[in-house]
A = this chain, B = another copy of it.
Amino acid sequence: MAPPPASQAMQAIKVGILGFGTIGSGTARLLLEQRERISRRAGRGVELARIVDKDLSRPRNVAVPRELLSDNVEALIRDPEIQIAVELIGGIEPARTLVAALLENGKDVVTANKAVLAEHGPELFEIARRHGRSIAFEAAVAGGIPIIAAIGQSLAANEISSIHAVVNGTSNFILTEMEEKGQEYAAAVAEAQRLGYAEASPAMDVNGTDAAQKLAILARLAFATQVSWHSIPRLGIEIVQAADMRYARELGYSIKLLAVAERSEQGLQLHVSPTLVRRGTPLAEVRGAFNAVRVVGDAVGRVFFHGLGAGQMPTASAVVADIIDTAVGRAAITFRGLRLWERDDHAPPLQEPDSIVSRNYLRFHVQDRPGVLAEIAGILGKNQISIASVIQHEAETEDGGPVPLVIMTHEAREGAMQQAMAAIDRLAVVRPGSVRMRVRG
């Protein structure tokens, strides 16, 4: 005789949510409206027992029984019946203090908070270990794309050699608007805000912070590299202008905010920057609020994942998958095995940023007079940077006024590029506002 199904044998597991914002509402919706489905897949009842938020008056798009709502976070922390706590507050504090307290009070934690993990991961993981608890965080990177499970479990036989990721949906939405509608940056940001794809203050999204935090988490997972997201060189999409989109297109590229981790004999290079990606390749075709991650492993080769990286329900989907994983005991095993945030002698050293080699797209605003290209080309040459192609359209006026000059370089060292750009920007014929972006593929 087979044993009775687990759902009959085990008590329901109680879940508490901290943070009743967009993702919190989506998670509550799934747990309440799909309770039967989720319990079936967990093999036991999964019961939403409490939602805590300091502001309970805002309207939400989910109907929650009044008795589940509370503004008393201490009561949730001290409730011994709640076994899984879902942190959806976001940001560093009070999230950090609360997650620590939840773990210390014997709760397993599920979180979508990349900021607190990228900033205080080692400390929180250590607290979890000390108390025999787990932290699951699939929703912290790339929302609905199961990239944490893929790297941490499904690709575990591989040595990962590179990760190329579009992980900030706000930036990608703005870049797509600029590309498809020819909009300038400011107009595209306004459109993204109007449609809810960008917050009122989207700085963390558009300046590369969010992508760097996610890259730090992926890099620790894939390479066991102890890296603070603060030390990842990053450039945001604010530098991209409609003109760059047009030139990129003319040259056969799209512009994407790429988060890159790439291992070579020189070590592990990590950076976030707007990058020209050859059109027709999968990363170039990531549109709107979608995310994508391209992983290369020594056995599996190239694997590509594409899906919605943010938004209420895609993120809630990942949160609830983690709740199920925690309820069935899989999260505990996975967490135990994570090399993440541990010393690991196999971690590659970080590559010196100056030594990173890549092709470059350069756009200058120069005076339209003889010898300008020769001067710029001379500086590039002196820095061992060779030119692959040049675009200089005829000036629209004849007064020698400023015209754009676009140069694509062959592979060049980052340090040499920086020196050359500084020297070029000192030329009298070059106006302020030079743009440089990496080129891939």
Contact = CB atoms under 8 A, between A and B. Distances in A.
Interface of A: 2, 6, 26, 30, 34, 37-38, 40-43, 129-130, 138, 144-146, 149-150, 153-159, 280, 282, 285, 297-308, 311, 313-314, 316-321, 324-325, 328-330, 333-334, 336-337, 339, 346
22 contacts: A6-B336, A34-B157, A37-B159, A40-B339, A41-B156, A138-B154, A146-B154, A146-B155, A149-B150, A153-B321, A153-B324, A154-B321, A155-B321, A299-B314, A299-B316, A300-B313, A301-B307, A301-B313, A304-B304, A305-B306, A328-B337, A330-B334
A241 to B, nearest CB: 26
B157 A324 contact: yes
Contacts of A329: 333
B43 A336 contact: yes
Contact of A282 (B149, B282, B333): B282
8 interchain residue pairs of minimum CB distance: A146-B154, A157-B320, A299-B317, A303-B307, A144-B300, A300-B317, A304-B306, A299-B313
B337 A42 contact: yes
A306 B41 CA distance: 26
A144 B301 contact: yes
Main secondary structure of the interface of A (DSSP, over half): helix
Contacts of A158: 317
Given A153-B321, A159-B37, A337-B43, A314 B300 contact: yes
A321 B300 CA distance: 11
A145 to B, nearest CB: 6
Contacts of A42: 337
A300 B42 CA distance: 18
